[in-house]
Amino acid sequence: MVRTRFAPSPTGFLHIGGVRTALYSWAYARKNSGKFVLRIEDTDLERSTEESVQAILDGMHWVGLDYDEGPFYQTKRFDRYREVIQQLLQSGHAYYCYCTKEELEIMRAKAEVEGCATYDRRWRPETGKQLPEKPADIQPVVRFKMPTEGITEWRDLVKGDIAIANDTLDDLIIARADGSPTYNFCVVVDDWDMQITHVIRGDDHVNNTPKQINILKALNATIPQYAHLPMILNESGSKMSKRRDAVSVVDYDKQGILPDAMLNYLARLGWGHGDDEFFTMAQFIDWFDLKDVSPASGRFNQEKLLWLNAQHIKNTANDILIQRIVPRLIEKGIRQPESVDLHPVMALVKERVHDLNQLADECLYFYRQSIPTEAEIAKHWAEETPARMARFAEQLKNITEWNAENIHALFAPFCEAEGIKMGKLGMPLRLLVCGTSKTPSIDAVLALLGKEEVLRRMNNGLPQA
Ligand code: GLU
In terms of domains, do 163 and 85 share one? Answer: yes
Atom 3 of ligand 1, nearest CA residue = 8
Q: From first to last of the 465 residues of the chain, give the pLDDT tens digit.
A: 999 999 999 998 899 999 999 999 999 999 999 999 999 999 988 889 999 999 999 999 999 999 999 999 999 999 999 999 999 999 999 999 999 999 999 999 988 888 777 898 999 998 778 888 899 899 999 999 999 999 999 999 999 999 999 999 999 999 999 999 999 999 999 999 999 999 999 999 999 999 999 999 999 999 999 999 999 999 988 888 777 777 888 899 999 999 999 999 999 999 999 999 999 999 999 999 999 999 999 999 999 999 999 999 999 999 999 999 999 999 999 999 999 999 999 999 999 999 999 999 999 999 999 999 999 999 999 999 999 999 999 999 999 999 999 999 999 999 999 999 999 999 999 999 999 999 999 999 999 999 999 999 999 999 877
Residue 216 in domain: no
- Ligand 1 atom with least separation from CA of 204: 10
In terms of domains, do 403 and 453 share one? Answer: yes
DSSP letter assigned to residue 119: -
Atom 10 of ligand 1, nearest CA residue = 8
Residue 205 in domain: no
Residue 64 in domain: yes
Q: What is the pLDDT of residue 155?
A: 98
* DSSP-derived pairing of the beta strands 232-233 and 35-40: unpaired
Range of the domain at 94: 80-175
- End-of-domain residue from the set 306, 335, 368: 368
**Torsion-angle region of residue 450: left (phi > 0), alpha (psi -120 to 50) or beta?**
left
In terms of domains, do 426 and 454 share one? Answer: yes
- Cα distances from 177 to residues 23, 106, 251, 363, 446, in angstroms, run 37, 19, 41, 62, 75
Residue 131 in domain: yes
Number of compact structural domains in the chain: 4
Q: Is 187 in the pocket of ligand 1 (CB under 6 A)?
A: yes
| d(CA 202, ligand 1 centre) in Å | 7
> What CATH code is carried by the domain that includes residue 382?
1.10.10.350
Q: What is the pLDDT of residue 131?
A: 86
- End-of-domain residue from the set 156, 175, 194: 175
> What CATH code is carried by the domain that includes residue 106?
3.90.800.10
- End-of-domain residue from the set 296, 315, 334: 315
**Rounded to two decimals, what is the model's pTM?**
0.92
Q: Is 245 in the pocket of ligand 1 (CB under 6 A)?
A: no
Q: Is 39 in the pocket of ligand 1 (CB under 6 A)?
A: no
Q: Is 5 in the pocket of ligand 1 (CB under 6 A)?
A: no
* DSSP-derived pairing of the beta strands 232-233 and 3-6: unpaired
Q: What is the pLDDT of residue 13?
A: 87
In terms of domains, do 290 and 322 share one? Answer: no
CB 218 within 8 A of CB 93: yes
Which residue from 146, 171, 174 is spatially nearest to 83, judged by alpha carbons?
174
| d(CA 9, ligand 1 centre) in Å | 6
- What is the chain's Cα-based Rg? 32
Residue 214 in domain: no
Residue 208 in domain: no
Q: Is 454 in the pocket of ligand 1 (CB under 6 A)?
A: no
> What CATH code is carried by the domain that includes residue 240?
3.40.50.620
